[in-house]
Amino acid sequence: MDEGATPLGTIGSNRKPMLLEQCRTIATQCDPLRVLSSAALAAKELIDVRCAAVAVVDEHSASLTLCAVAGGEWDAVLELPELPALLSDMKTAKGVLRQRAVDPRLLGLQELPGPFGRVLIIKEDAAPSARVWLWVADRTDHRDFDRDDEEQALLLAMHVQLAYEKAALYRRVAATESLYRTLVEQIPAVIYYRSLEMPGTPSFVSPQVESLFGFSPTEAIEDPDFWQKRIHPDDRERVLGHQQAFLPAEQGSPIRVEYRAVRKDGKIIWVHNYALAVRDEAGRARFVMGAIFDVTEPKKLEEQLRQAQKLDAIGKLAGGVAHDFNNLLTVILTYASLLIEKSAAGDPMRDDLVEILSAGNRARVLTSRLLAFGRQQVLSPRVFDLSETIAGMKEMLRRLLGEDIDLQTRTPEGLRKIKADPHQIEQVILNLAINARDAMPKGGLLTIEAANVDLDAEFPRVQLGVAPGRYVMLAVTDSGVGMDRATQARIFEPFFTTKEQGKGTGLGLSTVFGIAQQSGGTIWFYSEPGRGTTFKVFLPETTELPHSEPPSVREVRHGTETVLVAEDDEQVRRLVLSILRRYGYDVLEAKDAGEALLHCERHQGPIHLLVTDVVMPHMSGRELADRLAAIRPDLNVLFMSGYTEDAILRHGIASTAVSFVQKPFTAIELAKKVRAVLDSGGA
């Protein structure tokens, strides 16, 4: 066949309609393998052969892959002995590459009558690298292929090549589209694309719009004001202002804005919107595309962090105030107690002194709550079962709550042990119960329960400041009036209360918060107006075994030992000296660490005990004790302080190797502690 001839013009008229129909059928296929399969069937029928096949040759790798066969069973990859020569001929040959005889076994034609068949090999040169080869083998009448066969095969090969390239391109486009669709649908964000010139025209919104906003993509597309309606009314002016400033900006300047959005169900969420304008050649914004991310949980954690920082600052202030106040209370309570002891039963001043002592004790409780909130309270932790604590408080709580409140407790068998201060945990239960009672003025249901819970790695994302692990949960749930969002934002602040003036101190929940934090746990709550409130306190499990408490000393024995007192507050120092002398001790006085060191160096006799304040100017009580230990190794030490933010205590929990007395204390409390330290050798 001459180069440049038109094959269709020389093909017999009886074959043209069939050839055109077969070419149209092949052209409609979008799958490359279906194109080649259709081509093999078409070649077999048009040229009337026993076998037809289509292969693809990759000239870069010089590999030939059989892709479709009709009338025979060839291997997936056809490896002819003549392949190197055929590939070499491809460099110059066009159209009909070769018409020759081959071993029919190479073509999978095992049932031919003779040992040889005739094969016609057609190559199409349109593609730059992957070329389609059409093989037709052995006419059914066993004659040679004629010119009409060659022209028909060549024209078919041309159409197959074009259809194959088109289908391969379609497949690549479809694969790319599928990849991007999967990417868009898997990203945890709403991807959108909308026109600025015709806001009512269809645009694209990813399916995530339903999970984030509650609307289907169709609803979002059909409403031209959809995005504006989603912006919270209080944020709308700010967000739209950002948009107006963003659209005239230069190409490539995106908008990043966070705001509150309103879901279909009315729920408020926080979103981060990243948008970019698509501009024409003149720089005018025509389209906006972007992504909207749900940042509600990060916002909650951010707010928790701010709240924790605020509470920490208030707690440090409260702890400092409580420390100074405790020094004053130590003097007031102790002298009031001493005067009461000296007064006669009928003395008219005795009742006044009792009132002074009562007021001082109430102030003592108040400072204790301030210290608990500031996580600066001295705890006496031990291993115990929370279910026993709840059971032991049940009757007392019933009397406290009243008959119109139904109290229910639920504690499972096998509850894990916790290590905490039992008295402080009782305070937590009591405060939460009182808070629940006040939230149910007309009565209701109060449920106190305990359970074993395992907090996974996701929980710290929701509740800041807690590690994953095994916990015991204390839950207190009421059916009361609940709390609005404004109240919820401040419930742990000290002195914040919704009660009438004089009905509450505002320290109940702040005390619970501090105890939970200081005990290594955390507190979580949920409340809705009119639906009640649930508080959950999570306390870490302990694997330590419980041990029995030593018997308490009822009577205070006097002593004759020498005690060195180091205290920078003059009133407290004089008080401690007076108490110890009343109980028979020989006392050395030091107003600071320097004087204490001098006493230890100059005093000729033994010094049995150092009673020192923890926080003093120039040198702390801990540092003083360490210095004196080098001079007098047998010296016992008793620390005293109004708060516990110091070096000898870890996170406010007294070490078992450290003796400590908390201010304010009474004369008997101090005397008992001094005698216990001396008798135990400082342990």
pLDDT in tens, 117-132: 445 555 555 444 556 6
Q: What is the pLDDT of residue 101?
A: 45
Q: Quick check: is 182 in a domain?
A: no
Residues 462 and 419 in one domain: yes
Cα 180 from Cα 192, distance rounded (Å): 13
Residues 321 and 205 in one domain: no
Strand, helix or coil for residue 259 = strand
pLDDT band at 641 (very low <50, low <70, confident <90, very high): confident
**Percentage above 70 pLDDT, the chain:** 71
Domain CATH for 108: 3.30.450.40
Q: Quick check: is 554 in a domain?
A: no
| Boundary residue ending a domain (373, 404, 423) | 373
Cα 107 from Cα 454, distance rounded (Å): 68
| Boundary residue ending a domain (510, 540, 570) | 540
Residues 114 and 203 in one domain: no
Q: What is the pLDDT of residue 274?
A: 86
Q: Quick check: is 662 in a domain?
A: yes
For residues 64-85, average pLDDT = 55
Q: What is the pLDDT of residue 495?
A: 63
Residues 390 and 520 in one domain: yes
The answer to whether residues 355 and 333 touch, using CB atoms and an 8 Å cutoff, is no
In three state form, how does the secondary structure of 180-206 look? HHHHHHHCCEEEEEEECCCCCCCCEEC
For residues 513-530, average pLDDT = 84
Which of 104-108, 167-171, 197-201, 536-540 ranks highest by mean pLDDT? 536-540
Asked if the model's pLDDT at residue 76 lies above 50, the reply is: no
For residues 76-100, average pLDDT = 47
Which segment of 235-249, 367-381, 500-514, 614-628 scores lowest on mean pLDDT?
Answer: 367-381
Domain membership of residue 159 as a residue range: 7-175
Cα 319 from Cα 302, distance rounded (Å): 25
Question: Counting runs of H as helices and runs of E as strands, what totals does the chain give?
Answer: 20, 22
Residues 616 and 670 in one domain: yes
Q: What is the pLDDT of residue 19?
A: 76
Q: Quick check: is 124 in a domain?
A: yes
Asked if the model's pLDDT at residue 666 lies above 50, the reply is: yes
Taking the mean position of all CA atoms in its chain, how far away is CA 436? 30
Residues 415 and 505 in one domain: yes
Q: Quick check: is 553 in a domain?
A: no
Q: Quick check: is 625 in a domain?
A: yes
130: CB partners within 8 A, 6+ apart: 56, 57, 58, 59, 168
Residues 221 and 328 in one domain: no
Q: Quick check: is 206 in a domain?
A: yes
Strand order in the sheet with 562-566: 586-590, 562-566, 609-613, 636-641, 660-662
Instruction: Please give the tally of structural domains in the chain.
Output: 5
Residues 398 and 369 in one domain: no
Strand, helix or coil for residue 665 = coil
Measured N-to-C along each axis, helices 386-401 and 422-438 cross at an angle, to the nearest 10 degrees, of 40
pLDDT band at 146 (very low <50, low <70, confident <90, very high): confident
- pTM score: 0.43
For residues 279-295, average pLDDT = 81
Domain CATH for 627: 3.40.50.2300
Q: What is the pLDDT of residues 158-182, one digit of tens each?
A: 888 888 888 888 888 888 887 777 7
More confident residue, 448 or 323: 448
Q: What is the pLDDT of residue 606?
A: 92
Which segment of 397-401, 466-470, 667-671 scores lowest on mean pLDDT?
Answer: 466-470
Q: What is the pLDDT of residue 402?
A: 84
Which segment of 194-203, 343-352, 462-471 scores lowest on mean pLDDT?
Answer: 194-203
Cα 370 from Cα 663, distance rounded (Å): 13
Structure-block tokens of residue 533: 């409130």
* Helix-, strand-, coil-residue percentages of the chain, each rounded to 5: 40, 25, 35
Cα 191 from Cα 232, distance rounded (Å): 20
Domain CATH for 424: 3.30.565.10
Q: What is the pLDDT of residue 528?
A: 85
Residues 35 and 163 in one domain: yes
The answer to whether residues 592 and 619 touch, using CB atoms and an 8 Å cutoff, is yes
Residues 342 and 391 in one domain: no
Q: What is the pLDDT of residues 388-413, one digit of tens each?
A: 999 988 888 888 888 889 999 999 99
Q: Quick check: is 183 in a domain?
A: no
Domain CATH for 270: 3.30.450.20
Mean of the per-residue pLDDT values for the chain?
76
Which of 36-40, 320-324, 356-360, 465-469 ranks highest by mean pLDDT? 36-40
| Boundary residue ending a domain (272, 294, 316) | 294
**Percentage above 90 pLDDT, the chain:** 14
Residues 278 and 310 in one domain: no
Structure-block tokens of residue 676: 């216990």
More confident residue, 275 or 305: 275
Phi first, then psi: what are they for 93, rounded to 5°? -75, 150
Which of 1-10, 17-26, 254-263 ranks highest by mean pLDDT? 254-263
Residues 481 and 579 in one domain: no
